[in-house]
Structure 1
Amino acid sequence: MDKQKYTPMMQQYLEIKEDYADAIVFFRLGDFYEMFFDDAIVASKVLEIALTSRDAGAKVPMCGVPYHSVKPYIQKLIEKGFKIAIVEQVTEAGKGLVKREVIRLITPGTVLEDGILDAKTNNFIGSILLTEKGYALTYVDISTGESFITDGLEKKQALDLVLSLGIKEVVLPMHFDEYIINSLNDNELLVSFSDQFQIIDNKNLNHLEREQKRAASHLLNYLVNTQKQMINHLMPFKVIQRVGHMHIDYRVKKHLEIDESLVNNSQTTLLHWLNECQTAMGSRMLKSMLNHPLYDIKALNERYDLIEAFTPYQPREQMIGHLRYIYDINRIVGRIAFQTVNARDLYQLKETLRQVPDLKETIKRYQNPKLDEMVSQMDEHQTLFDHLEQSIHDDPPITLKDGGIIKKGYHQKLDELRDIDLHGKTWLSEFEKTERDRTGIKNLRVGYNRVFGYYIEVSKGNASLVKEEFGYERKQTLANSERYITPILKEKEDDLLHAKERSMTLEYELFKEIREFAESFTFSLQELSTKIASVDVYLALAIVSEKHNFVRPTLQNGRDVEVIQGRHPVVERFTKFVANDVIMKEGEIFLITGPNMSGKSTYMRMYAMIVYLAQIGSFVPAEKARLPVYDAIFTRIGSSDDLSGGKSTFMVEMVESNEALTKATEKSLILFDEIGRGTATYDGMALAQGMIEYIHEKIKAQTLFSTHYHELTVLENSLERLTNLCVKAKEENDTMVFLHHVEKGTTDKSYGIQVANLAHLPKSLIARSKQILEKLEDKENKVVLDLFNYEKFEAEDVQTINPDKASVLDEIEKLNTDQMTPIDALLLLKHYQSLIKPKK
C-alpha cells in the first residue's frame, strides 16, 4: 500500500496497523474510536453498526463507536475471538499531528473490564512450551492474579488441560507443533505466537525450577508486551503436581457434566447445584476444586473437617449476611495494578474491608480450632480501610476526571477550591464588606472586567483614604474612580476563574495517590481474598450437605467399596430418585444389564459422581460411604461423533476406550457404557468381551460395564471378580414400568420394542416389529458358541506394543524437521527418550 497518498493522520494509523496486523485497531479520534479499511468492514458486520467512509486522501472504509460507551462493543468482539489494539492520544492537542500509541492490546485472555468477565469463572490465558520433562502448561488469570504451572505433560494431556480449564487464549512459540496448533484451532481457541523466552527476574518465579521459569517467562513476556506494563500483581506460581491429583480428562468431565452441560443447560451440571457461594472468589475456588480433584487422603480429610466445622446452623445466617456484601477483591486488585480501577471499585473495596472484623467474630462463634486458625490469618487491613473511609466518597461516579470522588475534609486545598466554585460570589461579597470595614471607605466595591480581571474600585473623592498599609496596588485610573488590586484578590481571582477545573484536576491527582496507596497492599489483599474464598466454599458445601442429606465419606487405603443408598446429586433435583447401593470388592467388575431407560447409565454416573465429590473434598449423597481413593476415572459414556476430525461414533468410542485400556491402573475407576453398539452385533459383542477380559486380567481396575449384550452375563461363571447386576423393570400389558432398582442378577431381554412403544412410535410399526422379532428368535441358532469359553490371557499369546513407543513412532513420523530449531530438536529427543525408558 502506498501510504503517501493518504493524509498524515491516516499514515499514522497505517504505521500502527502494521505492528498489529492480527488485531482490530480502535483509533481514538475525539469522542470516538474509529476503525478503517478491513477492520471497519469486519467490525461493522460483527457489531452491527453502520459502515461509512472517510476522505483521507482517498476514500477509506470507516466505522466508529463512542469511547465513553465502548465496553459492550469490546465484549462482543472478544466473545467472537478478536484481538483489539486500543490507540490513544498521548500528547495534548496543539500544533501539528497529535501523537498516538497503542496503550493496550485486549485479547480474550487479557480482559480486565468488569461487566465483560464472568464473575464466577476464571479468565485464563495459557502458554504451552516443550521442556526437557515434556510439555509445560503455564496459565494465569490477569484479572485476579492467580498463576499456575503444570509440567511433564504429554501432548494430549496439555491439550486436554487447556479444554478442561476453559483457557481462552493460548500462546505458542513460532513454528510450533502443527498438531497442537490445529487442535486448538479446531476447538475455536485463540492462538497467539511469541518467541520471547528470556527468563524474567521476578520473585514469584524464584521457587520454580529452571525449565519451569522458562515456561512461565514465555507467558509473562507476552503479557508484558501486550499490556504495555509489568504484571506486578501476579501471585507466586502454584505448581500443580499431577502426583497429588486424580487424573480426569476433559471428556470425563464432559460426560459426567461436572461444570459443562451436555444439553446447554447449566442446571444439569454438578457445579450449579454445589454453588451456594456468596462471593465471586468463592465460586471461582469451588470451580478450581472441581477441576483439580485430589489423590491424597490427608488433604481430603482436612477439607471434610472444614465442612464439618461449618455444620452448626446458629451463626450461618450472620455469615451469609457478611459474605453477601463482600465484593470481588482479586479483580479490584487486578484493576488497581493495571491502573484501570475507578473510585467505585475503591468504595467497594472499603465496604468489603468493613465486613472483615464482623466476619471474623462470627466465625469465632463456631468455636472450632481449625476455623480459629483461619480467622487468625485474616488481616483486617485497618490502615487501608481508614484511608479509604476518609478519602473516597460514599457514592462516587465511575468517571475519574469529572469530580465527586473525594470526600469533604480529606484535603484542605480541594475543599477551598470546591468552596470557591460553589460560593464564589459569596466570597466576593464578604471580601468587599471586609475591605470596607478595614479601610473605612464606605463606597468601595469589587468589580471585574476581562482585561484586568477582579479589582477594587474607589471613587476619586475617597482615593485619598487609600493608605500604603492596605497593600493596594493602583491598576487603572478613570475619570471618576481609581482601580486597585491586592495580592489576596489576585490569588483568589485565579481560583475564582479556574476553581472547578483545578478542583477536578487536583481530585484526580489525589485519586492516583490513593490508588498507589491501595496498590501497596496487593499481596496481603490477595491473601485475604483466598481466606474469604475458603470460608465461603466450605460454608457453601456445608449448606449443600445439610440441605440435601450428604454424608462425610470414609476414605481408606484398601480397595473395597461400600455405598449405602447412594444418589445422583443432580438427577435427584429433577425427579424422585431411587437410591441404590454400591458394594464392590478390589478389582471387581460389575456387568450391568437392563432395558433402555431403566437407569443403567444413571447408576454408573451416580457412583462416579459420589467418587468425584469425595475427591474434591465434599460430602456425598448417600446414607453411608466407605471409599478407596482413585488415581483416575475413565469413561466411555454416551453417543457422539467427530465428523470434522474424520471419526465416526464407533471410532470415537474406540479411541475413548483405548484411553482407559492403556492408561488405567488397578487404582483407577472405569465406566464403560454400551461398548460395541456402533458396529455389527458379533463385532461389538466380541470387542465387549475382549475388553472385559483385558480389564479383569491385565488392569484389575474396578469397573462398571453396562451392556445390552445380555449373552455376556455367562462370563460371571469364568471371571472370578465379575458380578452381574441388573436394573429391574416389569412389563405390564406391553408397557414397561421402570423400577430403577439395581440388584444382583441378569436380564435376558432388552425390551427394545416396549421402549419404542413408550416413545409413541406408530402402532402398526410396533406390531410389525413384534412379528419380526418372534421369527428372528425362532430362527436363532441355539448352539452354545465357544465365544464365551474364557481362557486366561497368556503373555506369549498377546502381542502387545508399548503404547508409549507406538506413540513416539507416530510423533516422529509427523515431525516437520525443516521448521525445528536445534534446541527444540534436543528437547523433543529428550522427551521421547523419557517416554520409552522402562518405568521403574
Structure 2
Amino acid sequence: MSAVTGPPPELDERRDELTPMLQQYVDRCREYDDALVLFRVGDFYKTFCGIAEEVARICELTLIEREDSTGTYTAAGIPVDNAAEYVERLLDAGHRIAIADQVEDPSETTGIVDRAVTQIVTPGTVVDDELLSPDSTYVGAIVGDDDAFAVASVDVSTGECRVAAAPDRASVREEVARVGPAELLVGPGAPEVDAACPTTDWDDDAFAADTARDTLDAYTDPDRFTAVEARAVGGLLAYAEYTQGDDGALAYVSRVQRYDAADCLRLDAAALRSLELFENRAGGEREGDTLFETINETVCALGRRRLASWLRRPLVDRRAIEARLDAVDELATRTLLREALRDELRAAYDLERLVSRVSRERANARDLRSVAGTLAIVPELKDALADAEADRLQRLRDDLDELRETRQLIESAIVEDPPQEITEGGVIRDGFDDELDEVRSTEREGRAWVADLEEQERERTGIDNLEVGHNQVHGYYIEVTDSHLDSVPEEYRRRQTLKNSERFVTPELRRREDEILGAAERADALEYERFCAVRAEVADAADRLQGLADALADLDALLSLSTVAVGPAFSRPAFHDGDEPLAIEAGRHPVVAQAQAEFVPNDAELPAGSVALITGPNMSGKSTYMRQVGLICVLAQAGGFVPAESASLPVLDRVFTRVGASDDIAGGQSTFMREMSELTDILHDATADSLVLLDEVGRGTSTADGLAIARAATEFLHDEVGARTMFATHYHDLTALADEREGVFNRHFTAIRDGDDVTFLHRVDDGPSSSSYGVEVARMAGVPEPVVERSRALVEGGGDDASADPEADGSAPAPTQAATDGAGADSAGESTAPEADAGPATPPGQQTLPGVEPSTPAETDAVVAELRDLDLARTTPIEALNRLQELQDRVTDE
C-alpha cells in the first residue's frame, strides 16, 4: 500500500557513519520497510531526506535543514499533540504509518533514548478517536483453496470479528461489498475483487493452515471453523496484532463469530449501490440522501453501528423478523417508554471502543469514568423495561448487565473529573489506598509548612517584603531585596543572585523541599500503579462489558426503528409464506418522499413468479418506483416499519438490481459490459424467493440486439427462475409478452401532453404506455430548439412509437415492433409491415426522411437503420446535431 518503503537511501548507505539517533531511525525504517516511519524526537514525529520531502508535500509542512557532525539533512516534523490530522492525510495518500515512540524516560536515560514502533496505522486498523468515525471500520481478508473461499473481517477498534465461507468467486465479491472494509488483505488463492478500498498483500505464511490455527487458538477454538475459514481469520488476526505494535494486544477480540451468508437477505454490490442504502449514486454527502441516514434516529455510537449492521444483513428468519417487529411495535406505541429509554441512552458512551482501549492498556482515567457513566444508566433502563411485553425487549432487559462491582470500583478509585494524563497525579480518590493517602499527607504537611514559612520569617527577621517562592530549576527559596540584606539571618544560605534581590535557602527549608518532592514523586508513582491495577481489573470484565454493549446497541437500534415508525405514512409490514402476492398499498420511497412534500404514493403487486413490465415517459419515476419496492422489502426484513399504508410481503432470500448506467473503464468494462455482467449474476443466482429489479436492460447496444437480450432475459426469469421481477423498459415491444405468458403483466406511468408541454403524474396504472416522450424530455432539459424540432420530425416520419395520438395519457396499447421498425412478423410468422409506397423515387420497403431527397436505396436504408438505433436519451445536444448533419449529408443528392 505504502508508496514509501525502507529508509532513505542517502542515510541507509552510510548508516554506520551517522549519529546514534539517525542510526536508530534507519534501523526502525529497515525493520518496518513496508511503512512510513514517524520517529519521535521530543515534541515532534520526524522524518528525514526523501521521506521528509514526501511528508512535507502531503502534509503541507515546511522542510528544515538539520545539521550534525556527520552532515546536513532535510527534515520534516509533525507535532505529537496534533499528529492525527497529519496521519489522516498520509493515510489518504496511500501510506501505511509506523509510529516509533520513545519507550524510555529521557530523564532516566544515559545516552540515546530507545524508540520502538508501538503502532502501525493503516486505513482498516485505526484505533485513535481522532481518526475514527462513529461507524464500524473493518479490515477484511480473503483466501481461497481450490473451489473453497472465505471472507473474514475485524474491527480493531471494537473487537468485532467475523468469518464466512463463500462457495464461489461471486459470493466472495458479494460478501466483501456487504462488509465494506476500509482495507482488504488479499491472501493466497484469493479471487480478484473490485474492492472500493486499498488492498494489502500480507505475509502468505500468516495464512498457512498451521500458522493461522496457532494464531486463532489464542482467541477461540480453531476446530469451530473449516480449514479455509481458519486460514482467513487466523491470517487476519495476525495482521491486526502486527499493527498494534510490540505487544499486539487483542485480548478483547474474544468472540470470533462464524456465520453463513445465506442466513441473511443477500445484497450484492450492485444492490447496495443502486438502492443507495449507505451511499448515494451521485456521490453526495447530504444527510438523508441514503436509506441509512433517513432512518437513523439512534442516540449513541453503539446503536448507529448496530442499525447499519441490520441494514447490511436483513433477516431471513420469519420468526426473528416478527420478534424484532414486535419490539418496534411496542416501542412505537408506548411513547413515554420510548422517550424515557432514548433519554437514558443519550448518556451512553461508546462502550465497545472503551473496552478495546482498556484491554490494550491505552485507556486513561477519563475512559474509565466513561465506562462507569455508561454502567450508571443500566439500572434505569432495566426499570423502564420492567413491564415490557415483547419477547425481544424482555430478553434485552435480562441482557442489561449492571456490573455493579466494576462500576463501584471505578467510582471509588477514580476522581469524578480526572486529568487527561495518568502519570502526573490527581487521578486516584482520597481514601482509596492507605499507602497513597499517607504519602499525600506527608506532601500536604510539607506544603502547609512552606505556606506558613513566609509569615513566620517576616515576623522573625523584621523584613516586611520577604517572600517564599518556588521554581522548577532552583526549587524552594526565600527572596530578600537588596535594601534588606543587612537583616538576613546567619543560617540563610545564598542560592541565587538577581538584579535587585538575593534568594536564600535554610537547612530546614531544604529538608522540607526534599520531603515534599519525594512525597510528590512517590504519590505520582503510586497513583499510576493503582490506576493500572484498576484498569486491569476492569479489563478482566471485558466479556461482560461487551455483552452489555451488544444489548445497548440492540436497544438503541430498536428505538431508532420505532421512532421512524411513528412518522407519517409508516405501517407494520405483514409477512406470509411466499405463495401470496407481494402487495404494497400506497408505497413511498423512504428517501425521496422525505425530500419531496408532493411525493405521489403508488401501489405494487407482484404475485409469486410474476414479471411486471413497467413502461412510461422518461422522468416519470419508473426507477424510483422500483427502488421503493426494493427498499420497503429490505427495511421490512431488517425489522422496520415501512413507508406504505400496508405491505404484505414474502421473506426474500436476495434482492437483485440492474438499475442505472455506469462503467468500469479501469477494470476493462464498458457500460454495456458492466450491465451484462450484472445481468449474468442475476440470471445465474436468482431464485423463486428473490426480488429482481431491472431497468433498461440491453440499451447499451443496437436496438435489435438489445431488444433480443431484454426479451430473452425476461422469458428466462419468468419461465426458468420464477423470481418476482419488475422490469422498466422503453422497449415497448416487450409489452406483448403479457399476451403470451400468464405471469407477465403491464404497468405504466401516466403523463399528459398539452402541445409541447408534458406533465408527469408519477402515478402507476394498468396496461402499457404508448410513448416515452423522449423528445419532450430533451426539450425540457434545454436541448436547442432546432435539434428538438428536427428530432420530432424524424420520429414522426420514421414511425417511432411517439407517433401515437399526441393527446394520449399513456394508457393506449403500444405499437408492435413492426410499427416501430417498419418491418417484422407477428406470432404466426406473417408480415405485419404496412405496404410501402411504390413511387419511382422510393423502391418498395425503403423509407424516406421528410424534406430530404433520397440518395441510393441502400444508403437510405443504412441511414434509417442508424437513426432507429440512435439512443436520444444518452446523446448530448452537440452530438445529436453533428450526427444529424452527418446522416443528412449521406442521404441528400449533391
TM range (shorter): 0.7 to 0.9
Contact 1:278/1:323 (CA < 8 Å) preserved in 2?
yes
1:274: which partner in 2?
295
Q: Structure 1 pair 291/58, CA: closer, same or farther in 2 (3 Å)?
A: same
SS in 1 for 2:73: strand
2:70 pairs with 1:50: no
2:629 pairs with 1:607: yes
Output one character per residue of 1:257-291: Cα deviation in whole Å (capped at 9) or x when no partner.
Answer: 01111122342100001111111011101111111
TM-score (norm 1): 0.83
One-letter identity of the residue aligned with 1:111: V
Q: Structure 1 pair 639/379, CA: closer, same or farther in 2 (3 Å)?
A: same
- In the TM superposition, what is the alpha-carbon distance from 1:395 to its structure 2 partner? 2.0
2:785: which partner in 1?
763
> 1:241-280, aligned counterparts within 5 Å?
241-263=260-282, 264-265=284-285, 266-280=287-301
One-letter identity of the residue aligned with 2:745: T
Query: Residue 518 of structure 2: which of 480, 490, 498 is its match?
Result: 498
- In the TM superposition, what is the alpha-carbon distance from 1:347 to its structure 2 partner? 1.5
> 1:513-524, aligned counterparts within 5 Å?
513-524=533-544
Contact 2:147/2:168 (CA < 8 Å) preserved in 1?
no
2:225 pairs with 1:209: yes
- In the TM superposition, what is the alpha-carbon distance from 1:237 to its structure 2 partner? 1.4
> 1:378-527, aligned counterparts within 5 Å?
378-418=400-440, 421=443, 424-427=446-449, 494-527=514-547
Query: Residue 545 of structure 1: which of 548, 558, 565 is its match?
Result: 565
2:310 pairs with 1:286: no
Single out whichever of 686-695 and 518-527 deviates more from structure 2: 686-695
> 1:95-110, aligned counterparts within 5 Å?
95-110=110-125
Contact 2:140/2:154 (CA < 8 Å) preserved in 1?
yes
Structure showing greater relative contact order (alpha-carbon pairs closer than 8 Å, 6 or more residues apart): 1
1:640: which partner in 2?
662
2:256 pairs with 1:237: yes
- In the TM superposition, what is the alpha-carbon distance from 1:574 to its structure 2 partner? 1.1
- In the TM superposition, what is the alpha-carbon distance from 1:645 to its structure 2 partner? 1.6
> 1:534-683, aligned counterparts within 5 Å?
534-559=554-579, 560-575=581-596, 576-683=598-705
1:113: which partner in 2?
128
SS in 1 for 2:401: coil
Q: Which runs of 5+ in 2 are unaligned?
A: 1-12, 457-467, 477-492, 494-504, 804-816, 831-894
Q: Structure 1 pair 337/153, CA: closer, same or farther in 2 (3 Å)?
A: farther
- In the TM superposition, what is the alpha-carbon distance from 1:724 to its structure 2 partner? 0.8
Contact 2:582/2:648 (CA < 8 Å) preserved in 1?
yes
Contact 2:144/2:191 (CA < 8 Å) preserved in 1?
no
One-letter identity of the residue aligned with 2:233: A
SS in 2 for 1:597: coil
Q: Structure 1 pair 130/597, CA: closer, same or farther in 2 (3 Å)?
A: same
One-letter identity of the residue aligned with 1:84: I
2:158 pairs with 1:151: no
Q: How many residues align?
A: 744
Output one character per residue of 1:694-733: Cα deviation in whole Å (capped at 9) or x when no partner.
Answer: 2121212111011111122112111221101111111123
2:185 pairs with 1:165: no
One-letter identity of the residue aligned with 1:610: I
Single out whichever of 148-157 and 588-597 deviates more from structure 2: 148-157
Query: Residue 359 of structure 2: which of 337, 342, 362 is its match?
Result: 337
Single out whichever of 150-159 and 730-739 deviates more from structure 2: 150-159
For residues 42 and 353 of structure 2, the distance between their equivalents in structure 1, rounded to whole angstroms, comes to: 30
1:786: which partner in 2?
825
One-letter identity of the residue aligned with 1:250: A
- Percent identity reads 35
One-letter identity of the residue aligned with 2:141: S
Q: Structure 1 pair 133/361, CA: closer, same or farther in 2 (3 Å)?
A: farther
Single out whichever of 631-640 and 148-157 deviates more from structure 2: 148-157
- In the TM superposition, what is the alpha-carbon distance from 1:15 to its structure 2 partner? 1.7
2:237 pairs with 1:220: yes
> 1:712-751, aligned counterparts within 5 Å?
712-751=734-773
For residues 455 and 607 of structure 2, the distance between their equivalents in structure 1, rounded to whole angstroms, comes to: 100
1:37: which partner in 2?
49
2:16: which partner in 1?
4
For residues 484 and 597 of structure 1, the distance between their equivalents in structure 2, rounded to whole angstroms, comes to: 92
SS in 2 for 1:643: coil
Contact 2:219/2:256 (CA < 8 Å) preserved in 1?
no
- In the TM superposition, what is the alpha-carbon distance from 1:658 to its structure 2 partner? 1.0
TM-score (norm 2): 0.78
For residues 203 and 781 of structure 1, the distance between their equivalents in structure 2, rounded to whole angstroms, comes to: 68
- In the TM superposition, what is the alpha-carbon distance from 1:743 to its structure 2 partner? 1.5
Q: Structure 1 pair 494/740, CA: closer, same or farther in 2 (3 Å)?
A: same
Q: Which runs of 5+ in 1 are unaligned?
A: 435-446, 455-475, 477-482, 792-840
> 1:341-380, aligned counterparts within 5 Å?
341-380=363-402
One-letter identity of the residue aligned with 1:7: T
For residues 180 and 90 of structure 2, the distance between their equivalents in structure 1, rounded to whole angstroms, comes to: 18
For residues 17 and 332 of structure 1, the distance between their equivalents in structure 2, rounded to whole angstroms, comes to: 31
Output one character per residue of 1:799-826: Cα deviation in whole Å (capped at 9) or x when no partner.
Answer: xxxxxxxxxxxxxxxxxxxxxxxxxxxx
Q: Structure 1 pair 695/235, CA: closer, same or farther in 2 (3 Å)?
A: same
Output one character per residue of 1:487-506: Cα deviation in whole Å (capped at 9) or x when no partner.
Answer: xx999664323343333333
Contact 2:658/2:694 (CA < 8 Å) preserved in 1?
yes
Q: Structure 1 pair 504/356, CA: closer, same or farther in 2 (3 Å)?
A: same
For residues 117 and 52 of structure 1, the distance between their equivalents in structure 2, rounded to whole angstroms, comes to: 31
SS in 1 for 2:267: coil
2:91: which partner in 1?
78
Q: Structure 1 pair 106/176, CA: closer, same or farther in 2 (3 Å)?
A: same
Query: Residue 129 of structure 1: which of 119, 127, 143 is its match?
Result: 143
- In the TM superposition, what is the alpha-carbon distance from 1:428 to its structure 2 partner? 5.9
Query: Residue 79 of structure 2: which of 66, 75, 90 is its match?
Result: 66
For residues 200 and 364 of structure 2, the distance between their equivalents in structure 1, rounded to whole angstroms, comes to: 29
Contact 1:714/1:788 (CA < 8 Å) preserved in 2?
no
For residues 288 and 304 of structure 2, the distance between their equivalents in structure 1, rounded to whole angstroms, comes to: 15
2:28: which partner in 1?
16
One-letter identity of the residue aligned with 2:165: D
For residues 788 and 74 of structure 1, the distance between their equivalents in structure 2, rounded to whole angstroms, comes to: 68
For residues 357 and 550 of structure 1, the distance between their equivalents in structure 2, rounded to whole angstroms, comes to: 32
One-letter identity of the residue aligned with 1:156: A
1:464: which partner in 2?
none
One-letter identity of the residue aligned with 1:165: V
One-letter identity of the residue aligned with 1:355: I
Contact 2:331/2:337 (CA < 8 Å) preserved in 1?
no
Output one character per residue of 1:578-620: Cα deviation in whole Å (capped at 9) or x when no partner.
Answer: 1111122121100111000111111111111111112222221
SS in 2 for 1:627: strand
Query: Residue 26 of structure 1: which of 27, 30, 38 is its match?
Result: 38
- In the TM superposition, what is the alpha-carbon distance from 1:133 to its structure 2 partner? 6.3
For residues 725 and 291 of structure 1, the distance between their equivalents in structure 2, rounded to whole angstroms, comes to: 31
Contact 1:729/1:738 (CA < 8 Å) preserved in 2?
yes
